[in-house]
Amino acid sequence: MIAENKERLVYSVYDLVDLLGLSISSVYKGINDNEIPHVRVGGRILIPKKMLDEWLSKRESQATEAIKKCKREHSGGTEHATKGSSKNLCQTVTEQT
C-alpha cells in the first residue's frame, strides 16, 4: 500500500495543465514537439517530477539570462537585433525598467 503523504514521482498530462496553467493542447504540443520532457508507458504519457523540475529550472535560467542580456544591451539606449519571442521579451523587459 502507498502512503497518502508520499510525494508524487510522476505527473499526467492533465496534472501539467493544472500545475503550469497551460491549455491541454499546449501541453500536448510541447510533448509532441519534445519540448516538455516525458516518457511513454504503454499508452500513457507520464512526466517524471525530477525531469519536470530540471526542465523548469533550465527554462527559468534561460529567461533570466535573456532578461539580463536585454537590460545590458538596452542600458545605453541602443537597439539590438533580436527575432521572434526574444524581441517580444526585450520589449517587455525594457518597458518595465
What are the average pLDDT values for consecutive 10-residue runs of the chain, which has 97 residues? Answer: 72 94 94 95 95 91 82 64 52 51
Q: Decide: helix, strand or coil at residue 9.
A: coil
* Sign of torsion over alpha carbons 9, 12, 18, 22: positive
Is residue 3 situated within a structural domain? no
Residue 74's domain comprises 10-96
Q: Which residues pair with 40 in a beta bridge?
A: 45
Q: What is the pTM of this model?
A: 0.63
The structural domain count of the chain equals 1
Is residue 53 situated within a structural domain? yes
Amino acid 94: pLDDT: 47
Is residue 5 situated within a structural domain? no
Is residue 1 situated within a structural domain? no
Q: Are 47 and 56 in contact (CB under 8 A)?
A: no
